[in-house]
Amino acid sequence: VAAMQDDENADLVFSCTKGGRNLRITAWELATGSIQRTYSCDAEGGGSCVYLLGKDYLLCSLKTLPFIYVWNIRKEQVHLKIACPGCVGALACSPEGTYCAGAVGEKIYVWEVSSGHLLAVISQHYQPVAVLRFTDDGTHFISGGSDARVIVWRLGSVLSEAFVTSGHSIPYSPGADRTVPCPSLTRHVWSDHSLPVTDIHCGTGGLRARVVTVSLDQTAKLYELSSGQLLASLLFDSGLTSVAMDLAAHRLFVGGSTGKIFQVNLFLHHPSSVAQHSSVGFNHEGGTDQHSCFKGHTKAVRGLAVCSWGHQLVSVAEDSTGRVWDIISRQELRSSPLKGPVSSMFLARGVRLSPPSKTLPSNLPPLQPFRKQLHYSAFAQGRGEGGGEGKALPAVPIVIEGIDPLCDLSTLKDCDCGFNLPADSIHSSQVEGLEVHKLTQEMSELKDVHRRLYGFVVDELIDKPVD
């Protein structure tokens, strides 16, 4: 129990404040409210997004400048200043710290952290992307934009060489009369909001997770990640700016533009399970016992998070305060004044700025500056499709529906499965084997056509008597 309490006390809140010519990020303990570090740099206009990379690096993108500032969380001096193709409006890192995704306008850039290589540039939004989130298993990431669209991306397909180099799928024909395209880059595209999406929360459980999106249209949408089904639509009395959910996905917390924080007990609406679409409205007084309201902030709530044990809620807002609430009683436990209006927040669970000697050192590889041009993998270079230095990409978790994840991929070329794998999930020798198999079949078909044509000419034209 003492060890669990130590882990809870290690929860740190990183809040990014804006205003003036200085960008300031304050790290304070959730348990005590004491300030541990203050990171700052000269950046007029403030930051747009703050994110923790692994347990060592703190990243912050700027609203008005095309840079990402990086700090070692144990030092207050800037560790690295990364130039980007444009102003990064949203930022997210994979759970293991291997990949970093940043949104520049309508485009999403995906970098490899250890090398800085730009692995993919994708775009299916019509207006700037405002928020990015990774799933807890690292197989997918989710983007929400000002076009009111929410897109779930397959990380394995995005990093596939076939999509990166050409932007189109590569046809593959395991049978003589079938051509099956590669898997899509996206798993789901949700267009249920009518105004810009402001925040996204992805729960735990990989593909079994629940995804909540909030928008300025005063609604929160609850989805099932695996099927993409809309489970619930919740209507509030003000525009929504932030969202969070406890680890058990029982309680939903939504922050509004007026400073109110609404609590929704999801399983009270569907006692058996949240398994069907419902529409629920909430009035300005808090309504019935099915939902409650936390009152204390006076301006828009810009960040919400639930602590490790699930009994406390932390919130930051544009009123320059960070507050900690008791979820059961909905009472404010403490309020921490900050050095300006807060633009974003990140809750780091189990992170200590002054780790004890028993803590193992981080195994995060060195952080490299991000490149601005696409990098071609060793697979493409081996086939003469790229130049310069290259290396194989790190392993990416890929969820393959209908295929045993422990099966030998080399056996898929002989099975009539009507299915194609992304190029980065198959060894280059296996890909070459698939191509040889396809060419051999095409040559066999051509020989058969030639034999039948030769027989027709001999039987019908040469041997036929002339009248």
In this predicted model, what pLDDT tens digit does every residue of 106-140 receive, in sequence order?
Answer: 999 999 998 999 999 999 999 999 999 999 999 99
Give the tens place of pLDDT for each residue, 273-308. 343 444 455 544 444 444 589 999 999 999 999 998
Strand partners, 415: none
Position 376 scores a pLDDT of 67
Position 281 scores a pLDDT of 54
- pLDDT for residue 171 is more than 90: no
Region of residue 70 (left: phi > 0; alpha: psi -120 to 50; beta: else): beta
Residue-averaged pLDDT of the chain? 77
Strand partners, 301: 317
Position 315 scores a pLDDT of 95
Angstrom distance (rounded) from CA 210 to CA 30:
25
pLDDT bucket at 242, cuts 50 / 70 / 90: very high
Amino acid (one-letter) located at 265: N
pLDDT bucket at 19, cuts 50 / 70 / 90: low
Q: Regarding predicted confidence, which is higher, 351 or 358?
A: 351
Q: What is the DSSP string of 135-168?
A: -TTSSEEEEEETTS-EEEEEHHHHT-HHHHHHSS
Q: Regarding predicted confidence, which is higher, 184 or 161?
A: 184
Q: Please compute the mean of the pLDDT values over residues 325-351 and round it to a whole number.
A: 89
Angstrom distance (rounded) from CA 326 to CA 292:
13
Of the spans 161-165, 182-186, 197-201, 327-331, which averages the highest pLDDT? 197-201
Q: Regarding predicted confidence, which is higher, 464 or 94?
A: 94
Least confidently predicted of 70-79, 269-278, 362-371, 429-438? 269-278
Contacts of 30-37 spanning 24+ positions with Cβ under 8 A: 30/307, 30/312, 30/314, 30/324, 30/347, 33/324, 33/334, 33/336, 35/336, 36/12, 36/353, 37/73, 37/74, 37/76, 37/353
CB 317 within 8 A of CB 325: no
Position 433 scores a pLDDT of 63
User: What's this model's pTM, rounded to 2 decimal places?
Assistant: 0.74
Cα-to-chain-centroid distance, residue 403: 24
Q: Order of strands across the sheet with 261-265?
A: 240-245, 251-256, 261-265, 291-294
CB 197 within 8 A of CB 165: no
Q: Please compute the mean of the pLDDT values over residues 308-334 and round it to a whole number.
A: 92
Q: Please compute the mean of the pLDDT values over residues 438-460 and round it to a whole number.
A: 83
Q: Order of strands across the sheet with 78-83?
A: 47-53, 57-62, 67-72, 78-83
Q: Please compute the mean of the pLDDT values over residues 394-409 and round it to a whole number.
A: 46
Position 389 scores a pLDDT of 43
Least confidently predicted of 33-47, 213-227, 305-319? 33-47
CB 97 within 8 A of CB 349: no
User: In which residue are the tokens 């310069």 written?
Assistant: 388
Alpha-carbon separation of residue 432 from 72, 384, 437 (angstroms): 44, 14, 9
DSSP E strands in 43-77: the ranges are: 47-53, 57-62, 67-72
User: In which residue are the tokens 């290690």 written?
Assistant: 10
Position 340 scores a pLDDT of 85
Position 419 scores a pLDDT of 41
Residues 6+ positions from 137 with CB-CB distance below 8 Å: 95, 206, 207, 397
314 phi/psi in degrees, rounded to 5: -115, 140
Angstrom distance (rounded) from CA 128 to CA 108:
10
Q: Regarding predicted confidence, which is higher, 162 or 85?
A: 85
Percentage of the chain with pLDDT > 70? 71
Of the spans 6-10, 21-25, 244-248, 396-400, which averages the highest pLDDT? 244-248
Question: Minimal CA–CA distance to 220: which of 248, 202, 197?
Answer: 197
- pLDDT for residue 14 is more than 80: yes
User: In which residue are the tokens 């593909």 written?
Assistant: 207
CB 62 within 8 A of CB 102: no
Angstrom distance (rounded) from CA 243 to CA 261:
9
Quote the radius of gyration of the chain (alpha carbons, Å).
26
Task: Characterize the bridge pairing of strands 12-17 and 342-348.
Answer: antiparallel
Of the spans 158-172, 181-195, 412-426, which averages the highest pLDDT? 181-195
Position 255 scores a pLDDT of 95
Angstrom distance (rounded) from CA 292 to CA 268:
13
Q: Please compute the mean of the pLDDT values over residues 159-177 and round it to a whole number.
A: 43
Q: Please compute the mean of the pLDDT values over residues 210-236 and round it to a whole number.
A: 95
- Enclosing H/E stretch for 212: strand 210-215
Q: What is the dihedral of CA 154, 160, 164, 165, to 10 degrees?
A: -160
